């Protein structure tokens, strides 16, 4: 059985939500953590919690994943300091909703910069510099929204669909380097993400039966480490829905319009 004890794990988006809970779960299991996000003070809070609760080894690396120069700099530092990373968990991301016709295109570009291009860049650099010739694992946090697109989430769904497609391709390419690739696709998760994505709380209320906690997603993500797992789709009802949507698109469109539409 795979153990994360003493494995070096780099988590982006670690200052809150899913990334923060993944950090706590891995700290409890004895992993060596590298925590990245834009907010240094929040990263330090998570670090202090990991040390106080679990006596964990934690390195804080503040980082905006959309800043390619900063990503290259941090990768270079980690290469010199640690020489390798066993697991990369790409959890950084955000979303906004709104009718696409009214969407500010700058917001679309920013979302792709973080959710897709930033994820792709850091993955390439880590796989090239820090995962060569060692068994390793890359886990990309995407979303069921990448499989079932809903009204007023066109850009966000597009970014997550891109992450899923990207992950599927590199999973084949990285086999020769002994790097596993897994995509985690949660349904709605009750985090600060929804402060921007769903400011009035109406969507979250509507999909309440499907809403997950960050801790639930973190547990399933951690459980996937070291396993040859293509995807983790949660909750089960959403996984079944995504399969149904693919097999019966007309019925799927009807359900999306009448169940998941954010009015």
pLDDT tens track for 124-144: 999 999 997 678 999 999 999
Task: Give pLDDT, residue 193.
Answer: 60
Using pLDDT thresholds of 50, 70 and 90, give the confidence band for residue 252. low
Helix locations, 55-150, DSSP H? 68-81, 105-112, 119-129
Tell me the mean pLDDT in the region 71-84.
96
Cβ-contact 37, 63 below 8 angstroms: yes
The pLDDT tens digits for 153-166 are 899 999 999 999 99
Burial 69-88 (b: 16+ CB within 10 A, else e): eebeebbeebbeeeeebbbb
CATH 1.10.630.10 for domain 8-260: no
DSSP letter (8 states) at residue 188: -
Map out the domains of the chain as residue ranges: 8-260
Q: Above 80 in pLDDT, residue 28?
A: yes
pLDDT of residue 211: 80
Strands of the chain (E only): list them. Answer: 8-12, 32-36, 57-60, 87-90, 136-141, 179-186, 231-234
Catalytic residue set: 156
Whether pLDDT at 119 is above 90: yes
Residue 260 — pLDDT band, cuts 50, 70, 90? low
């Amino acid at each position: 059985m795979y153990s994360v004890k003493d494995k070096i794990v780099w988590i982006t988006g670690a200052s809150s939500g899913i990334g923060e809970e993944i950090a706590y779960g891995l700290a409890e299991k004895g992993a060596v953590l590298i925590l990245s996000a834009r907010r240094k003070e929040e990263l330090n809070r998570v670090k202090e919690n990991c040390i106080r609760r679990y006596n964990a080894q934690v390195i804080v690396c503040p980082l905006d994943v959309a800043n390619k120069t900063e990503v290259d700099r941090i990768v270079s530092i980690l290469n010199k300091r640690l020489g390798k990373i066993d697991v990369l968990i790409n959890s950084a991301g955000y979303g906004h909703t709104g009718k696409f016709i009214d969407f500010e295109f700058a917001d679309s570009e920013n979302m792709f910069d973080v959710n897709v291009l930033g994820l792709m860049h850091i993955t390439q650099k880590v796989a090239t510099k820090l995962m060569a010739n060692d068994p390793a694992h890359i886990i990309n946090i995407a979303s069921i929204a990448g499989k079932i697109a809903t009204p007023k989430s066109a850009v966000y769904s597009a970014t997550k669909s891109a992450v899923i497609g990207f992950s599927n391709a590199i999973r084949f390419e990285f086999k020769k380097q002994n790097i596993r690739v897994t995509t985690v696709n949660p349904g709605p998760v009750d985090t600060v993400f929804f402060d921007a994505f769903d400011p009035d709380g109406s969507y979250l209320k509507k999909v309440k039966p499907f809403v997950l906690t960050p801790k639930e997603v973190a547990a399933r993500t951690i459980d996937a480490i070291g396993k040859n797992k293509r995807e983790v789709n949660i909750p089960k009802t959403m996984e079944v829905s995504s399969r149904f949507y693919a097999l019966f698109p007309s019925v799927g469109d009807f359900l999306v319009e009448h169940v998941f539409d954010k009015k």
